[in-house]
Amino acid sequence: MCGIVGYVGRKNAALVVLNALKRLEYRGYDSAGISVILDGSIVTSKKAGKISVLESAMDIDSLESAGTGIGHTRWATHGEPTDVNAHPHTDCTGDLVVIHNGIIENYGDLRKVLLEKGHKFISDTDTESVVHLIEHYHRDLDLIDAVVKALNRIEGTYGLVVLSKKEPDRIIAARKGSPLVLGVGTDEMIVASDASAIVEHTRDVVYLEDGEIVDVKADKYRIYDLNKNGIQKNVESINWDIESIGRHGYDHFMLKEIFEQPETIANAFRGRILPDDGNVRLDGLGFTDEDMEKIERIIFVACGTSWHAGLVAEYLIEEYAGIPVEVEYASEFRYRKPVLKKTDLVFTISQSGETADTLAALREARAKGVRVMGITNVVGSTIARESDGGVYIHAGPEIGVASTKAFTSQITVALLISMMFARKRSMSFPEANAILKGLLALPDAVKTVLSECEKVKAIAEVYCSKHNFLYLGRGINYPVALEGALKLKEISYIHAEGYPAAEMKHGPIALIDEEMPVVFIATRDEIYSKVVSNMEEVRARRGRIIAVATEGDRDIVKYADHVIYIPDVHRALVPILASVPLQLLSYYIAVLRGCDVDQPRNLAKSVTVE
């Protein structure tokens, strides 16, 4: 969702900000804009559409001597994605500009008051009220004091950056509910909504917390709270480099990330398996034996793909550890009155660690005195920092909006968690050993699936022009079906639904005819024969069947039009392996339909507003 950048230093600020915005493109946006200070004036360019449109409209060379600038990619909330509504927004004098992520909830009231005071508004955005409010206070106050004063009147969420032409070597940034990171360089500073825009310049960063304001110059910065008390914070180091956010020859980030999975899955379990004990270690959870014994129920809270990972975790933990599990949409959990007990344990799952609903759910659970652990990918993200403990999935930066490698790593970690609890309860060493051995061999099994990508592509060619898809699976493969359907609709805009296979006859079966491709996850397990019966029901209605099946299953060809085989692995590992061909299928269909795979319309990588 919206991206923010601010730069002060000796480089060409317009170029730095433009390139940083390109790094943030993956977050999802529909307009973009940049302001720099050039020869004592603010020069602003902003355009609806992609950054390339903005770039063509700018004469970057003419801005070469500007050393301070801000830039924004906007994902529309208030007001359509037009040039006028794009950020930065300017005050009445043209002396101040502001970029903002989040939602100003009292913008209507502020706008009314400011209009009465004679301010002129030209956009439909909530953000414009912020720049006029700062202008109002800046008439009598220094810039930082004016910003502090304005922030104290704002209700809602923000990550924002302010630039004033009167102070060409300074930017002020603030955070409440929308992430902001300060990159600390040598004679240059860069603030951004995520570290991928910063890492090219410096790996030394300060993560701002809610309610913090940073006053930035090229060689120094000061952090304050909303009462303007100074705050000392540690400079942390980003543990990945610019290389890891390149496409490395792949046509799309999504394809690169799908193909990274042998490595990312290994990264999720590396150093966490204790083969001699048939156990795992997850030090970040900080559990004592007594803590683990006390837990009577586990609740997973997440959104989207991460919620699907939570469903897989439910099957794993209930089956292997015998602990009751609930899986909740964070957006629902936060607004109902969840009945929580001290013996509950809540896990949030979030790739970005910044999803607004998941963060709010975390805070709600902690406020009720329940211990909350985070399963996140982005190190230093808000969810990681606000949790009582957690597990990083170590998948590396995920740039494609459609989550792929993060999903399989989240399931890998969920399996480790289930093993940790199971071994404290009833799981025997041989059973644990079988799963862990299978896990260690899983990266190679994923490689085998990936080597079949041309077959998946051929299937995509047959079905890419269809308008609807059904994805069906049972048991632990039901969330895999949900995830397969989500991937397809996100990036190819084909309507797709995931269902438990047996539920089909309670409604969706009415949709089946020769135009309806149905993807079955039909791996060999104890309910395989039931799934085959469901396939028969589809065939009887002339639906077209694509089956993901276990290597060696020759019977399946009698029921399916197309079969994608995956290696025969322990059934606890099947969801990870079965997800991979479904990711590939969505990818190839989207490419064949000419869709923007990495930045699908209307979607944001990290949903930081409600």
For the annotated catalytic residues, the residue numbers are 2, 605
| Of 123, 196, 351, 412, the one binding ligand AGP by CB under 6 A | 351
Nearer residue to ligand AGP within complex by CB, 127 or 358: 358
128 binds ligand AGP (CB under 6 A): no
Least Å distance between CB 23 and ligand AGP? 17
Nearer residue to ligand AGP within complex by CB, 23 or 27: 27
Nearer residue to ligand AGP within complex by CB, 173 or 378: 378
Tokens, residue 429 = 């060493």
d(CA 55, CA 75): 18
Nearer residue to ligand AGP within complex by CB, 31 or 377: 377
350 binds ligand AGP (CB under 6 A): yes
Are 31 and 85 contacting, i.e. CB atoms less than 8 angstroms apart? yes
Phi, psi dihedral angles at 348 (to 5 degrees): -95, 145
d(CA 321, CA 314): 10
| Of 306, 382, 408, 599, the one binding ligand AGP by CB under 6 A | 306
303 binds ligand AGP (CB under 6 A): yes
Least Å distance between CB 409 and ligand AGP? 11
Nearer residue to ligand AGP within complex by CB, 110 or 299: 299
352 binds ligand AGP (CB under 6 A): yes
Q: DSSP secondary structure string, 7-51?
A: EESSS-HHHHHHHHHHHHGGG--SEEEEEEEETTEEEEEEEES-H
Q: Which 394-413 positions form the footprint of ligand AGP (CB under 6 A)?
A: 401-403
387 binds ligand AGP (CB under 6 A): no
305 binds ligand AGP (CB under 6 A): yes
Stretch that binds ligand AGP, among 192-200, 271-279, 350-358, 545-553 (CB under 6 A): 350-358
178 binds ligand AGP (CB under 6 A): no
Report how many residues bind ligand AGP under the rule CB under 6 A: 16
Residue 237's DSSP bridge partners are 204
Distances from the Cα of 86 to the Cαs of 24, 75, 78, in angstroms? 16, 9, 11
Nearer residue to ligand AGP within complex by CB, 33 or 374: 374
Q: Where are the beta strands (DSSP E) in 474-579?
A: 495-500, 517-522, 544-550, 562-566
Distances from the Cα of 522 to the Cαs of 471, 506, 570, in angstroms? 11, 20, 14
Q: Is 471 helix (H, G, I), strand (E, B) or coil?
A: strand
304 binds ligand AGP (CB under 6 A): yes
Q: Which 584-603 positions form the footprint of ligand AGP (CB under 6 A)?
A: 603
Tokens, residue 121 = 């508004």
Q: Indicate the DSSP class of residue 352.
A: S
Question: Of 279, 605, 204, nearest to 435 (Cα)?
Answer: 279
127 binds ligand AGP (CB under 6 A): no
Stretch that binds ligand AGP, among 320-328, 349-357, 504-512, 526-534 (CB under 6 A): 349-357
Least Å distance between CB 395 and ligand AGP? 11
85 binds ligand AGP (CB under 6 A): no
x/- letters, 458..497, toward ligand AGP (CB under 6 A) = --------------------------------x-------
Cα(first)–Cα(last) distance of the chain, in Å? Answer: 11
Nearer residue to ligand AGP within complex by CB, 9 or 310: 310
Nearer residue to ligand AGP within complex by CB, 478 or 565: 478
Angle between helices 261-269 and 429-450 (to 10 degrees): 160
Other beta carbons within 10 Å of 187: 11
d(CA 277, CA 9): 54
Are 469 and 517 contacting, i.e. CB atoms less than 8 angstroms apart? yes
d(CA 380, CA 362): 16
Which position's Cβ is nearest ligand AGP?
304
Tokens, residue 471 = 């994805």
d(CA 206, CA 284): 22
Stretch that binds ligand AGP, among 287-295, 313-321, 348-356, 429-437 (CB under 6 A): 348-356
583 binds ligand AGP (CB under 6 A): no
Please give the residue ranges that form the binding site for ligand AGP (CB under 6 A). Answer: 303-306, 350-352, 355, 358, 401-403, 490, 603, 606-607
